[in-house]
Structure formats: structure tokens, C-alpha cells
Amino acid sequence: MRIVYIDIDSQRPDHFSCYGYHRRTTPCIDALAQEAVRFDNYYVSDAPCLPSRTAFYSGRFGIQTGVVGHGYTAAQPKVQPERGFQDIFNDQGLAHQLQRAGFHTVIVSPFGQRHAAHWFYAGFNEIHNTGLGGMESAEQVMPTVERWLAANATRDHWYLHVNFWDPHTPYRVPLEYGEPFAGEPIPKWLDDEALIRRHNRLTGPHTSLDINMYDDQVSPRWPRHVGKVTNRQEMRKLINGYDTAVRYVDDQVGKIVAFLKTVGVYDQTALIVSADHGESFGELGIYAEHATADQAVGRIPMIVKWPGGAAGHVDSGLHYHLDWAPTLMELLGRAPAPIWDGQSFAATIRRGGAAGREQLVLGQCCHVAQRSVRWDNMIYIHTYHDGFHLFPTEMLFDLAADPHQQNDRAAAQPQRCWEGAWRLGQWQDAQMQKMARTCGDGVDPLWTVIREGGPMHANVRHDSPLPAYCQRLEATGRADGAAALRAKYGLAARADSSDNHGSEPETTGLWRVTRTGNRSSAKKP
């Protein structure tokens, strides 16, 4: 048995042509999907990159591992007080379970070094760090993949994880690749001057005037990328940059498939195409980023070609990406690790049978602090820290009628919000009870993020970007947003200067922070 797992960073499923996209972005993956099972409602439990991949290889929710953020305490796993010679990531992680099943495990990815997440590599026999910290383009990844396959493809019992980065900003496909979608329409709902004008009024990082997080700067190194969207031409360039990256990665998938066929092992090789999270293009007013716990960021592609398995089947059940760990173990005739949170859908892959969960809970604590519940056609989003977007505490969207989350139904459907809040509370109660049995503490890491000043990318304590960003908002015609942020985060009485190192207190909605020199101390108000 041979397994190739293709992990495409920042990949939305609805920009794959086999998921119904009007552009032919993925001809090679489309052909693979005809021999595979395609999952239409497959979601990451925790977003974005670091929490997602930690959950995937540990088989556990971020609330259990402690990894829900990109920085500060919640970017590190919880301390394991009864740790023995090995930690739990190696002992019960997916890669080590594959080793126990007799597989030689190989990963081609810089991810562990990019995020200092060395637990990500636990259980791999071979680690090929492509060395550019996630700035690799596919032509810099493929030589390593091709060399490994040339030397090892005809051997048996190996698992190869390949990480492609091109759909992640900045779009870096070489210019000589051309413009495969020049002249083709972009998604109709985005090709709208009225929508662009409305989004240009929004406040927050990665909105249409601040695609580079808190500004519109771009580097000449990345000519396919844009720093802002103020008209339909800039919108077209942004979408073309992303779709070209998707097509470029699809070419590499085609090369892998062709090589496996050439050496005669394709039919005996499982191929999986998936992602670490999706990407927003206008959803909640955010562009080219993965900053929320919503449909755009949470939903990812999942295509599984399994030798002897179902072909051409589409599954519409709700699944987490961490469900893959117990699924794979069942397909291999092995038991799952006892601590895993996943639920197997092996029967769907084998026979095309129906499977799925009643609901999913999605988390995001890197750019905002949010948890959401996805059930029926609904998504309920609860915001604990708005990441300077001025989101309301509760949002509700009917995804059947409003797949791009433009019409918040919370005020109109309070009963549905109550149901979403109830579902979220039930899930959290169950997670806290499990944590009390299996973890070294009983702390929900979402509240660790709040206690430490908010998510890393919108923190009010550690060199906060907010004062300077308020000035930018005023300079770009969004003074109302600046005023609202100052009022919400307690900046109204303080000079907006990022180099203010006096000792006067700055009051936020949760904390009073006293700056002394370059250090901060916090006390409850």
C-alpha cells in the first residue's frame, strides 16, 4: 500500500472546477475525482495554518491540544505533566500510528520550521524541509518530490505528505507561466462595483483597502498580487492571481499522477487532495486571508482515491479534517488512537455509503477569536474578539440562500441564534469534561488568547497595531471606523502614536494596560 497526501495551503474547494467552479482551474484533479470520493462539506476544526495542521496530525481539537493561535501561549501545546520518554504528539499522533502499521512516513514541507511547530514532524521517518518557510512556489517543491518518488515509488508501505503553497498570498507563480484565465469572467457576485464600494467602507485587517493586513503595500517581487481592491480591474487581478496559483498546483498533481502511472504503481496508490483551510474573497468583507471561523475559511476540499474504493461518488455529510486519522486507520485495519476526537468515514470511501455528523464546531483564534456552529444549512458565528473588524457578538447566515455570507440573519432569526448558542455550549461542555480527564489543566485556550490581549494578529497588548491603524482609517476616508475602534478598545483619551512609551494607562474592553518603556504589565480594571 502506498499513500500520497497532497496538502494545498489556503485552498477553497469552490475554486476547483470539479466542485463546480466555472473556470477550468483543476483539470488534473478533476480527472482524479472521477476515480475518487469527493467530500462537499469537509471542514477544518481549527483555523488557520498552525491550529489546523496541529489538529490534523494530532487527531484532536485545538481546545484539547491548546494550539489555537499563531503566537503567545496558545501557539504552544499544553504542558503534559505526566509526559514520559515521548510526548503525546508522537505517541498518539497520526504519523506514528502509520509507522506502527508498517509504513515509512515522509513529509515534504517547511511548515514545522515556519511556525516553530516541531511536533508537526513527530512520527515521520524522513523530513524534507524545502527551506523557504512557506514562500516556496511549486517549482521549488517538485524537485524534492520527484527525486523521492524516483528512488522509492515502487517500494511498498510508504506515506508521502506533499505541501504546496502557491494559493497562499503573495501569489508567486512565475510570470512566464502566463495568464491562463485572461478574458474569463471572475465570480459574478464579486464583479460588482456596488459591492466593492460597500466593502471599501469596512474596517479591519485584510479588508479590501488593507489586503496586506493593515495597509495596501505590495512588493515588486510579487507582480501577481494586489494590495487593495477599489475597482473591478483590481478585483479581477486578485482573483486571477489566486486561480492561476490553483492551476499551477494542479499541474504538479498531474505530474505526480503521471509518474505513478509510468512506474506502474498508480492503481495500488491512494491519493488524497485536501488543504489546511480555505480563503476569504469578500466573505465578511475580508480578502485573500483566512481570518475567521466561517464557511469560507473552514470549508476545504477533500478528494480520496482509494485502491478498490468507491469512484465518482460525492458525499454531502458534515466531516472534520481530523476525522481523517480514524478513517485512515480503519481503512488499514487498525484501531484509532484512544485520545483522538475524530469519527471514521471509511465506509464512504470503501462503498460510497452515507456518513457525517449532525454538526461541526469551527474555531479561529489567530486573527479574531471566534467559534461557530455549522448545521443544516446554517452557520452561527460567535465572536469573542473581533480582530478590529467591529463584528457583532452573534452572526447567523443561511448558506443555502447566502453562500458568501453577505446577509446576517441574527436579528431576524433569534431562535436560530439561540439554537446555535445552545449547540456551541453543549459542545464546549463536552470538551471541558474530556479535558478534565485527559489534559494537564482545565483551561479553554480561547480564553488564554483573550487574557493575553487578543489574537496575535490583532493584539491590544503586544506592540498593538491599533493606534497606527486608526490613523490609516482616517487617512483613507474611514474615520467612523477609527472612532468606533477607539471607543471599543479604550483609545479615545490616548494619543494615537505607536511610539508612546509613557506610563499612562490605556484601557481596553477587557484590560487596563500600563506601558513602561517597551514592556507591558496588565491588571484587571
pLDDT over 80 at 443, yes or no:
yes
**What SS3 string covers 423-461?**
HHHHHHHHHHHHHHHHCCCCCCHHHHHHHCCCCHHHCCC
Q: And the C-alpha cell for 358? A: 449532525
Beta strand 126-128 with 104-108 is parallel
Interior CA angle at 102 toward 99 and 103, to 5°?
A: 65
Q: pLDDT band at residue 86, thresholds of 50, 70 and 90? A: confident
pLDDT of residue 354: 84
Nearest to 390 by CA among 467, 323, 485: 485
**Cα(493)–Cα(508) distance, integer angstroms:** 11
**Cα(428)–Cα(421) distance, integer angstroms:** 10
515 or 126, which is more confident? 126
pLDDT over 50 at 503, yes or no:
no
Q: pLDDT band at residue 520, thresholds of 50, 70 and 90? A: very low
Q: Partners of 274 in the beta sheet?
A: 7
Question: What confidence tens digit (pLDDT) does each residue in 324-336 have?
Answer: 999 999 999 999 9
**Cα(469)–Cα(485) distance, integer angstroms:** 10
Q: And the C-alpha cell for 129? A: 524541509
Phi, psi of 501 (to 5 degrees): -115, 30
Residue ranges of domains in the chain, CATH in brackets = 2-36+43-398 (3.40.720.10), 462-523 (no CATH)
pTM of the full structure: 0.92
pLDDT, average across residues 92-105: 97
pLDDT, average across residues 55-68: 97
Question: Which uninterrupted H or E stretch holds 51?
Answer: helix 49-58
CA distances from 70 to 203, 322, 383 (A): 22, 19, 18
pLDDT of residue 492: 57
Question: What confidence tens digit (pLDDT) does each residue in 138-180 have?
Answer: 999 999 999 999 999 999 999 999 999 999 999 999 999 999 9
Question: What confidence tens digit (pLDDT) does each residue in 356-407 have?
Answer: 999 999 999 999 999 999 999 999 999 999 999 999 999 999 999 999 999 9
**CA contacts within 13 A on the Cβ side of 195:** 20
Question: Which uninterrupted H or E stretch holds 394?
Answer: strand 394-398
Residues 6+ apart with CB under 8 A from 131: 110
pLDDT of residue 436: 86
Q: Partners of 105 in the beta sheet?
A: 159
Q: pLDDT band at residue 437, thresholds of 50, 70 and 90? A: confident
pLDDT over 90 at 83, yes or no:
no
Put residue 288 in one of left, alpha, beta given phi > 0 → left and psi -120 to 50 → alpha.
left
pLDDT over 90 at 108, yes or no:
yes
pLDDT, average across residues 313-318: 97
pLDDT, average across residues 66-76: 96
Q: pLDDT band at residue 129, thresholds of 50, 70 and 90? A: very high
pLDDT, average across residues 199-221: 97
pLDDT, average across residues 476-480: 97
Residues 6+ apart with CB under 8 A from 263: 153, 154
Question: What confidence tens digit (pLDDT) does each residue in 10-24 have?
Answer: 999 999 999 999 999
pLDDT over 70 at 523, yes or no:
no
Report the percent of the chain where pLDDT is more than 90: 89
pLDDT, average across residues 272-276: 98
Average pLDDT, the chain: 93
Tally the residues of the chain: 525
